[in-house]
Chains A and B, each alone.
Chain A
């Protein structure tokens, strides 16, 4: 056990304690954290800065707003209900369309309007919000994910998580929903995490339940072959999110929409650490490198992306990058 501990320390694997003390507490001022904890607010800020996000259909804050529910939910292509201050993907309901007077959920189940109302009421009373305080339910455009991930997703929307430090993309992974995670891309619910090379967006390694895997558990598609399209746009979007939120240690969640391309889904002031397992790499060295480089060369988002690409092409990932380049060329 001690040997493992020392080895992990040597390899720069950080835990929750270190994340909280050294990175979250030290770089994320509370008043700014509040902004990203409220998804409606995040969306507003992102749109101000010209970063595309899934459109807000409407938000429900009280019983009066609830009367609008019929109008809001009258959509062929479905919608997503989210608690504006929810955490860890709790309380998110994905409706894919109408079904026999009710609605169809992402997992195929049918749900009535009353059940949707009940869920919204639960959201309003703060059942899913961080401190249990009253919350707002937001209805959002349902992302039609890019078919590029069709073979490696099971009923749900895959997303890309990029951890940025002072605006420099530090580590990235693709999160894939599984049958077990109920269509959600959250890793602690059983989603698959695929570590991505920062320079190219090609898969490095993959994990589920904190252990590495090679193929998607439901579709059996190999995970090593994945190449995320529009990677430079995605990196740039992640770098720009820092300008919006101002949080030094930030998790940026991005989805790829079939028509609209990369969309900023949400921001996270306390991104989890499983990304290290997905990448089979401790994040500390990368964070240190970013700390040292941050001040001089990282004036704007494109510069920070360039910096990230130059910083994080170690021998290991260079190999993979080459492979990816070959793959793309062919």
Chain B
């Protein structure tokens, strides 16, 4: 065993030992689950404000979620740009607001708030901040006629119900009765529906000594760029927590603020665009429970991405899977002997498949390569210099991509839309390499290498996007050391490749 061999083996052993050591510590001592099976969905929540500054004092007040014992919000981040930020909290309603201010903003401005939450379910207890159960009845406010109507209506309700709970249910049923009745129409406050009905229900319940409030938030059903704001009612009648959702109960929701105020209150900003974005991420239940400072052992603190901002975490989620693709590529090259165009090109294509999904990606790749190759063959006749020719091919690829997108969208195919960041530089270099192989060897050899590359790219894509792989690599980044160790060992493999066994097969026969 030579010195270099021994060094490589020792280093590989150390790396693997380090990675596996931390991995086992986390798995055994801290009970990190090894599969994504036992997970809950963690929702990335983002409020996105975009507006045009008018070069005058600007103030934006936005409700942001409150963290209660019952509702876990973590990883809050504010992206303020040049704006000043202050946070207020109303002790009575427990509403939180972010207030962004700036004296002379000009041009388009973006403000963001992001957080993570697991949300709430309709069965969760209502946060204790909902007033005392037996607070004094509040009188209905309004002119004489409406007060009169209110008293008449509520006394019939009381007569027709047995206890506060059934009376509350009856109240809501009456208010949301699609048939409607004139007396309720009169009572509805001046608000958009269903907020007006919810507010009336709240007033009615409170007047009867039932603690109630209007809640605003979002439903956590699927990832969306623009989630709708919803309103519902929660009350506590007869010691029981009840939520009423007009239009059906969601499986999971997330509370932003209480009351009937507008979500955003802005001054001095025009063309305001408010978006609420939601993105669900599977994550281990344990980790959510641990929280940012639940456990501070060495292994947990230094081998994890929990402390990072949300956006950075998302980047690393993808980044840490790439080495898996690379290891696979090394294996396919050093042990199987598959020939590819360019060393790491297949992995880059595999990464591009993330956006297009596998079949679409393969289809797009093949089409673009074929078109590009045809263009390259023609350009050969014009006898251009190398770099300008590459540039022409690249621009041609962009045009071809645009063409495909437009055609496919016209034909109602979603395939074209996923093309967005398909790496055209890689495509261009692939085309260039392929045409050199084509000229110097044969069309067959060029196609063979292209197919080999696509095969490796597909395998790399499947490996990199496998949920188990994603889960393990993201939650146990120490495995990167193990991968590095494996690569070191593979780098010292001196045996025959699978394709070489075939190539040299005659030598074994004689």
Q: Give min CB distance, B480 to chain A, whole Å.
A: 24
CA distance A16 to B491 in the complex (A): 12
| A8 at the B interface (CB under 8 A) | yes
Residues 52-94 of A at the B interface (beta carbon under 8 Å): 88-91
Asked if residues A280 and B506 are in contact (CB atoms below 8 Å), the reply is: yes
Residues 460-499 of B at the A interface (beta carbon under 8 Å): 491-498
Closest residue of chain A to B387 (Cβ to Cβ) is: A125
Asked if residues B441 and A18 are in contact (CB atoms below 8 Å), the reply is: no
Q: Contacts A11-B507, A125-B387 given; indicate if A16 touches B441 (C-beta within 8 A).
A: no
Q: Mark A157-195, 1 if CB is under 8 A from B, else 0.
A: 000000000000000000000000000000011000000
Asked if residues A115 and B383 are in contact (CB atoms below 8 Å), the reply is: yes
Q: Mark A7-28, 1 if CB is under 8 A from B, else 0.
A: 1110101111110011000100
CA distance A122 to B508 in the complex (A): 43
| A1 at the B interface (CB under 8 A) | yes
Asked if residues A276 and B495 are in contact (CB atoms below 8 Å), the reply is: no
CA distance A88 to B383 in the complex (A): 24
CB contact between B385 and one of A21, A121, A212 (< 8 Å): that residue: A121
Q: Mark B419-441, 1 if CB is under 8 A from A, else 0.
A: 00000000000000000100011
The residues of B that contact A280 with a CB separation of less than 8 Å are 506-507, 510
Residues 201-244 of A at the B interface (beta carbon under 8 Å): 207, 210-212
CB contact between A1 and one of B334, B337, B501 (< 8 Å): that residue: B501
Q: Give min CB distance, B341 to chain A, whole Å.
A: 13
Asked if residues B506 and A210 are in contact (CB atoms below 8 Å), the reply is: yes
| B6 at the A interface (CB under 8 A) | no
Asked if residues A212 and B506 are in contact (CB atoms below 8 Å), the reply is: yes
CB contact between A127 and one of B386, B441, B494 (< 8 Å): that residue: B386
Asked if residues A11 and B508 are in contact (CB atoms below 8 Å), the reply is: yes
Q: Give min CB distance, A285 to chain B, whole Å.
A: 12
Q: Give min CB distance, A267 to chain B, whole Å.
A: 21
CB contact between B494 and one of A3, A17, A121 (< 8 Å): that residue: A17
| B503 at the A interface (CB under 8 A) | yes
CA distance A8 to B507 in the complex (A): 7
The residues of B that contact A254 with a CB separation of less than 8 Å are none
CA distance A1 to B501 in the complex (A): 8
Q: Contacts A211-B506, A277-B504 given; indicate if A15 touches B495 (C-beta within 8 A).
A: yes
CA distance A277 to B510 in the complex (A): 11
| A156 at the B interface (CB under 8 A) | no
Asked if residues A13 and B496 are in contact (CB atoms below 8 Å), the reply is: yes
CB contact between A90 and one of B383, B436, B495, B506 (< 8 Å): that residue: B436
| B2 at the A interface (CB under 8 A) | yes
CB contact between A8 and one of B337, B385, B491, B501 (< 8 Å): that residue: B501
The residues of A that contact B503 with a CB separation of less than 8 Å are 210, 277
Asked if residues A5 and B440 are in contact (CB atoms below 8 Å), the reply is: no
Tier of interface size on chain B: 20 to 34
Tier of interface size on chain A: 35 or more
Closest residue of chain B to A127 (Cβ to Cβ) is: B386
Q: Mark B274-302, 1 if CB is under 8 A from A, else 0.
A: 00000000000000000000000000000
Asked if residues B507 and A282 are in contact (CB atoms below 8 Å), the reply is: yes
| B70 at the A interface (CB under 8 A) | no
The residues of A that contact B501 with a CB separation of less than 8 Å are 1, 4-5, 8
| A314 at the B interface (CB under 8 A) | no
| B159 at the A interface (CB under 8 A) | no
Asked if residues A118 and B508 are in contact (CB atoms below 8 Å), the reply is: no
| A114 at the B interface (CB under 8 A) | yes
Asked if residues B383 and A118 are in contact (CB atoms below 8 Å), the reply is: yes
Q: Give min CB distance, A273 to chain B, whole Å.
A: 8
| A281 at the B interface (CB under 8 A) | yes
CB contact between B495 and one of A18, A210, A212, A281 (< 8 Å): that residue: A18
Closest residue of chain A to B382 (Cβ to Cβ) is: A118
Asked if residues A15 and B500 are in contact (CB atoms below 8 Å), the reply is: yes
The residues of B that contact A276 with a CB separation of less than 8 Å are 504, 507
| A126 at the B interface (CB under 8 A) | yes
Asked if residues A281 and B507 are in contact (CB atoms below 8 Å), the reply is: yes
Asked if residues A22 and B436 are in contact (CB atoms below 8 Å), the reply is: no
The residues of B that contact A273 with a CB separation of less than 8 Å are 500
The residues of B that contact A189 with a CB separation of less than 8 Å are 440-441
Asked if residues A9 and B495 are in contact (CB atoms below 8 Å), the reply is: yes
Asked if residues B496 and A9 are in contact (CB atoms below 8 Å), the reply is: yes
Asked if residues A16 and B497 are in contact (CB atoms below 8 Å), the reply is: yes
Closest residue of chain B to A274 (Cβ to Cβ) is: B503
Q: Mark A235-275, 1 if CB is under 8 A from B, else 0.
A: 00000000000000000000000000000000000000100
| B505 at the A interface (CB under 8 A) | yes
Q: Contacts A17-B494, A18-B495, A188-B441 given; indicate if A127 touches B504 (C-beta within 8 A).
A: no
The residues of A that contact B436 with a CB separation of less than 8 Å are 90, 127-128
Q: Contacts A122-B386, A125-B386, A126-B386 given; indicate if A18 touches B494 (C-beta within 8 A).
A: yes
The residues of B that contact A127 with a CB separation of less than 8 Å are 386, 436
CA distance A7 to B501 in the complex (A): 10
The residues of A that contact B491 with a CB separation of less than 8 Å are 21
CA distance A88 to B493 in the complex (A): 25
Asked if residues B383 and A114 are in contact (CB atoms below 8 Å), the reply is: yes
The residues of B that contact A11 with a CB separation of less than 8 Å are 507-508
CA distance A273 to B507 in the complex (A): 12
CB contact between A13 and one of B334, B387, B504 (< 8 Å): that residue: B504
Q: Contacts A8-B504, A189-B440, A280-B507 given; indicate if A17 touches B493 (C-beta within 8 A).
A: yes
The residues of A that contact B385 with a CB separation of less than 8 Å are 121, 125
Asked if residues A22 and B494 are in contact (CB atoms below 8 Å), the reply is: yes
12 A-B pairs in the complex with CB atoms less than 8 angstroms apart: A8-B507, A15-B495, A17-B334, A88-B440, A118-B383, A121-B383, A121-B385, A125-B386, A125-B387, A127-B386, A276-B507, A280-B510
**A residues in contact (CB < 8 Å) with B:** 1, 3-5, 7-9, 11, 13-18, 21-22, 26, 88-91, 114-115, 118, 121-122, 125-128, 188-189, 207, 210-212, 273, 276-277, 280-282
- 4 closest A-B pairs by CB: A125-B386, A18-B494, A7-B508, A118-B383
